[in-house]
Amino acid sequence: MNSKTVPRNSHAFAEVLGQIQQTRQRVFAQANTALIDLYWRIGQTISHKVAQAGWGKGVVTELARYIAHADPTLKGFSDKNLWRMKQFYETYCDDEKLSTLVRELPWTHNVTIFSRCKSPAERLFYLEQCLQEKYTSRELERQIDAASFERVSLTQPKLSAALRVLQPAAGEVFKDHYVLEFLGLPDSHSENDLQTALVRHMKAFVLELGRDFLFVAEQFRLQVGNQDFFIDLLFYHRGLSALVAFELKIGKFQPEHMGQLNFYLEALDRDVKKPHENPSIGVLLCRDKDEEVVEYALSRNLSPTLIAQYQLQLPDKKLLQARLHELLAGEWAMDDKDSSGEDGR
């Protein structure tokens, strides 16, 4: 049969194929859950034996050798992995919410999260992100290296009032800072260099943005009157059901940039947006910004826009962790003060 010929029963065939694929996915998921449950029980057993029977490294090493000798077909039960299972159990045994989430992720992802994340809040963040964004293990490592948890915890995206009203979920979709170290650009670069590099590394850029972003075009043409205008990068966001226009600026944010972006959004809504879609969103991505200038520029802006910053190197994770610790310590101090009644005499 010609490979290009469409079978007469193609719809029914596609239905059967879909059933096979869905069942295979369920089998993989069930197998993963069973494997994680096994590692949990092994970790629980070793943890209790260490606490109650004085098991040490020597006994666990002996256990690993016993398993390997008794059943050479079993892989993944070295003494190092057995200790990881103990750490896995002890990390989550007192947290019912997290102990449920870990069963939905592969073991490699779990090892990365419980070995690299320092707090329950950080572990919860990456567990939920993995489930939502479907990270590979390498992508998860990159998100941790890029300090995604610290960046989200420390800075909220700068949104116009119109965007907050029209899209209440926008604060969870967009970021205040985007890390673009994967571009490999020098500090001195042009807007064209930035745009070209983003398109060349679009897969990595979408990972930084979020998987619900779908790339539409670069230099998207808008015709208004007898003139042509071009949006640097145009995306569509599935969750927000809206076009998202990115304007790139390699310098510091200037208030006049907003006029250009607002014009593009008006043209998109009049001439490009589908009737069932929400109003288009504008993102001004700049190299630097003065927070007070940003606040003034957005305070009376009537378009759904935001101003974000990009950086070309991975952030100093330890510095961000220290800042987050200071922030949380300040909040705890305020809570303690409020609870003591000092403010309510």
Q: Give the model's pLDDT for residue 45.
A: 96
pLDDT digits (tens, 9 = 90+) for 26-84: 888 899 999 999 999 999 999 999 999 889 989 999 999 999 999 999 999 999 999 99
Chain-centre distance for alpha carbon 299:
28
The answer to whether the beta carbons of residues 171 and 164 sit under 8 Å apart is yes
Residues of the chain with pLDDT under 70: 1-7, 330-345
The answer to whether the beta carbons of residues 149 and 126 sit under 8 Å apart is yes
Q: Give the model's pLDDT for residue 262.
A: 97
DSSP 153-221: HH---EE-HHHHHH-TTHHHH--SEEE-GGG---SS--HHHHHHHHHHTHHHHHHHH-TTEEEEEEEEE
As a whole number of angstroms, the distance between CA 61 and CA 79 comes to 5
As a whole number of angstroms, the distance between CA 257 and CA 245 comes to 13
Q: Give the model's pLDDT for residue 344.
A: 47
Q: Give the model's pLDDT for residue 13.
A: 81
Q: Give the model's pLDDT for residue 28.
A: 85
Q: Give the model's pLDDT for residue 345.
A: 41
State the Cα angle at 223 between 218 and 228, rounded to 5°. 70
DSSP 270-320: HHT--TTSPPPEEEEEEEE--HHHHHHHHHT--SSEEEEEEESS---HHHH
As given in the structure block, the two tokens for residue 327 are 């922030």
Handedness of CA 152, 154, 159, 161 (dihedral sign): positive
State the Cα angle at 130 between 134 and 167, rounded to 5°. 85
